[in-house]
Amino acid sequence: MPERSLSPAGYFGVLAALVLLTILTVGVSFLEVAGIWHLVLGLSIGLCKASLVVLFFMHALFSPRATWAVIAVSCFWLIVVLMTLTLSDYSSRGEIPFAPGH
């Protein structure tokens, strides 16, 4: 069974998309965006770039289902477990005004 792969032109297309998204990231960094939208735009562009790298350059697009399961579990671990614990710690700071011995 032949393995599916991307042609060199496809790789150059993904590379061009990554370069354009990088230029867009730099352009957005100089914009005056109100509130939290600056962060949302930057993280959205970063998520798109990371997705392109994982799908095409790490060959996850043409990989078996076991690889997709590892990617899904890794995303779950990062988002649900690590971010939840970090944000719960961050949000609970300052609730105890004085802790004896500290």
Q: According to DSSP H, which parts of the chain are helical?
A: 8-29, 37-52, 65-76, 83-91
First to last CA, the chain: 64
Q: What pTM was estimated for this model as a whole?
A: 0.73
The model's confidence at residue 91, banded by pLDDT at 50, 70 and 90, is: confident
C-beta neighbour count of 56 within 10 angstroms: 19
10-65 pLDDT per residue, tens: 999 999 999 999 999 999 999 998 889 999 999 999 999 999 999 999 889 888 99
